[in-house]
C-alpha cells in the first residue's frame, strides 16, 4: 500500500486561506469534499491534510500551492471597508466571488504598476479630492469639468450602453482603472473602490442591468476615490446603516446624481419647467428625462425630490415600483441564462472586464519586448489565438 503523504503546513495558514477566500468551514468542507469536522481539525493542527487534499484547497481558495507553505500569515491582501454594514457588529459577509474580485483587482493594479515601470513611463497621478463637507452640487460641476463632459456631448449618449462606456472612458483618462465584475451578483454589491494616488480602482457589477445603473455605480465609486476612501458599496441608503456610513453613501449618491443631472440644466428642461407645483409625474415624462441624461427612472424621481418638484410619498411609490420591475427583470434574465447556453466571447469579455487602458498596457509592454507572449496570455487570461481580436478591439490592430 502506498504511503499517505501529509502536508506539513501551518494550521493558521489554512485558516487564513479559507477566511480570506470568503468561505465558512462548512462551505469549504463541501467544496473540498470532506466533513466539516475534518477541516476544522486541520485548522487547529490536531490532524494534517494530505497533499491531494491541500491541492483541492488551493484550487478552491484560488491560491498557489506554495502559499500554504509560508511561515507567517500574509498581510498583502486587505479586505475593503464595507459601506453596506449594519449598525454595531452587523457586518455583512463577503461571498467568495466578491473576495476573489477584490483580490484580483488589487493584483491587476499591482501588475499595471510593474508594467508601467517596465516601459519607463510615468503613471498618471489621481490628484482630485473632496471632503464630506463639500456641496455635492458644486463638486459635481467641478467633476464634470475634469471629465470634460458638456451637456451637448452628454445629450448624444441617449443609449445607456453608450453612456456607460463614455463615462468609463473619461474616468479612465484620469488614471483610474475601471473593472467590471462578471461573477458577483448586483444584489450583493453594486461596486467597490480602491483608493490610491496612482492607478486607483473602481469596479462595478457587469451583471447589473440596465447600463444606467452601472453608470451610477461608476460615479458613486468615483466620489469614494475623491474622498480617499476604499470600500464596498451598494446604492441602497437607509436608516439601518451606522450614521457615519450613511452620511458617506448619501453624499456619494447625491454627488453622482448631480454629475449625471446638473442642477441648472435639469431644472431648465421643458418637461420640468412646465410641471412646477405638481407632485405627480407621468411615466412618459420620467422616461423622457431618463433618456435625456441616460440614467435610471429612479434617479430622475430622486432628483425631482431633491429639488422639491415631487413628494416623498410619490418617490417611495415609484421606487417600490422600479425595484419590483428590476427584480422581475433579473429573474427573467436568470431563467433565460438557464434555458440558453451562454456563448462566451473571450476578447469581448476581457476588454469589458479589464478595460481598454489595462489591456493596452499589457500589449504595449509585449510590443516593447519586456514580456513574453505567454505572459500576455496569462495576464489577460485568454489564449494567444484571441490576441488579434483583442488588438483590434482596443485600437492596436
Mean pLDDT of the chain: 88
Listed by start position, the domains of the chain span: 11-69, 79-260, 274-340, 346-393
Q: How many helices (H) and strands (E) does the chain have?
A: 19, 4
Q: How confident is the model at residue 86 (pLDDT cuts 50, 70, 90)?
A: very low
- Rounded CA separation 364/369 (Å): 9
Reply yes or no: is the peptide bond before residue 210 cis, omega within 30 of 0. yes
- Rounded CA separation 309/281 (Å): 9
- Rounded CA separation 221/357 (Å): 18
Taking only the tens place, the pLDDT of each residue in 213-254 is 999 999 999 999 999 999 888 656 544 556 667 888 999 999
CATH 1.10.260.40 fits 11-69, yes or no: yes
pLDDT at 90: 45
- Rounded CA separation 250/225 (Å): 15
Q: Look at residue 100 and tell me whether its pLDDT is greater than 50.
A: yes
Taking only the tens place, the pLDDT of each residue in 126-177 is 999 999 999 999 999 999 999 999 999 999 998 999 999 999 999 999 999 9
Residues 6+ apart with CB under 8 A from 201: 105, 106, 108, 109, 176, 177, 178, 179, 193, 194
E strands along 101-208, which residues? 177-181, 191-194, 201-205
Residues 6+ apart with CB under 8 A from 61: 17, 18, 20, 21, 23, 28
Return the H-helix or E-strand segment holding 37: helix 36-44
Taking only the tens place, the pLDDT of each residue in 12-35 is 999 998 988 888 999 999 999 999
Amino acid at each position: 500500500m502506498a504511503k499517505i503523504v501529509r502536508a506539513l503546513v501551518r494550521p493558521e495558514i489554512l485558516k487564513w486561506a479559507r477566511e480570506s477566500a470568503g468561505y465558512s468551514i462548512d462551505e469549504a468542507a463541501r467544496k473540498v469534499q470532506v466533513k466539516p469536522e475534518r477541516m476544522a481539525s486541520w485548522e487547529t493542527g490536531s490532524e494534517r491534510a494530505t497533499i491531494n487534499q491541500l491541492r483541492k484547497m488551493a484550487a478552491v481558495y484560488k491560491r498557489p500551492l506554495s502559499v500554504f507553505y509560508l511561515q507567517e500569515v500574509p498581510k498583502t491582501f486587505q479586505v475593503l471597508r464595507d459601506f453596506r454594514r449594519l449598525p454595531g457588529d452587523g457586518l455583512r459577509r463577503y461571498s467568495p466571488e466578491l473576495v476573489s474580485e477584490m483580490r484580483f483587482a488589487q493584483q491587476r493594479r499591482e501588475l499595471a504598476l510593474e508594467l508601467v515601470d517596465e516601459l519607463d513611463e510615468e503613471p498618471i497621478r489621481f490628484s482630485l479630492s473632496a471632503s464630506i463637507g463639500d456641496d455635492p452640487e458644486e463638486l459635481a460641476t467641478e467633476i464634470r469639468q475634469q471629465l470634460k463632459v458638456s451637456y451637448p456631448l452628454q445629450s448624444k449618449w441617449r443609449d445607456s450602453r453608450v453612456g456607460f462606456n463614455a463615462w468609463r472612458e473619461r474616468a479612465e483618462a484620469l488614471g483610474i482603472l475601471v473593472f467590471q465584475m462578471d461573477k458577483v451578483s448586483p444584489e450583493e454589491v453594486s461596486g467597490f473602490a480602491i483608493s490610491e494616488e496612482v492607478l486607483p480602482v473602481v469596479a462595478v457589477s457587469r451583471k447589473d442591468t440596465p447600463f444606467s445603473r452601472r453608470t451610477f455605480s461608476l460615479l458613486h465609486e468615483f466620489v469614494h476615490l475623491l474622498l480617499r476612501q476604499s470600500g464596498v458599496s451598494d446604492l441602497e441608503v437607509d436608516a439601518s446603516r451606522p450614521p457615519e456610513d450613511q452620511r458617506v453613501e448619501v453624499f456619494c449618491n447625491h454627488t453622482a446624481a448631480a454629475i449625471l443631472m446638473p442642477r441648472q440644466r435639469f431644472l431648465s428642461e421643458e418637461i420640468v419647467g412646465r410641471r412646477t407645483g405638481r407632485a405627480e409625474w407621468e411615466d412618459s415624462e420620467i422616461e423622457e428625462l431618463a433618456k435625456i441624461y441616460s440614467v435610471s427612472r429612479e434617479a430622475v424621481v430622486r432628483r425631482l425630490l431633491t429639488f422639491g418638484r415631487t413628494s416623498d410619498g410619490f418617490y417611495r411609490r415609484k421606487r417600490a415600483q422600479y425595484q419590483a420591475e428590476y427584480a422581475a427583470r433579473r429573474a427573467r434574465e436568470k431563467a433565460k441564462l438557464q434555458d440558453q447556453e451562454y456563448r462566451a466571447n473571450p476578447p469581448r469579455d476581457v476588454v469589458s472586464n479589464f478595460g481598454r487602458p489595462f489591456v493596452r498596457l499589457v500589449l504595449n509592454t509585449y510590443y516593447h519586448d519586456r514580456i513574453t507572449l505567454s505572459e500576455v496570455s496569462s495576464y489577460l487570461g485568454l489564449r494567444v489565438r484571441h490576441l488579434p481580436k483583442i488588438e483590434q478591439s482596443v485600437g492596436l490592430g
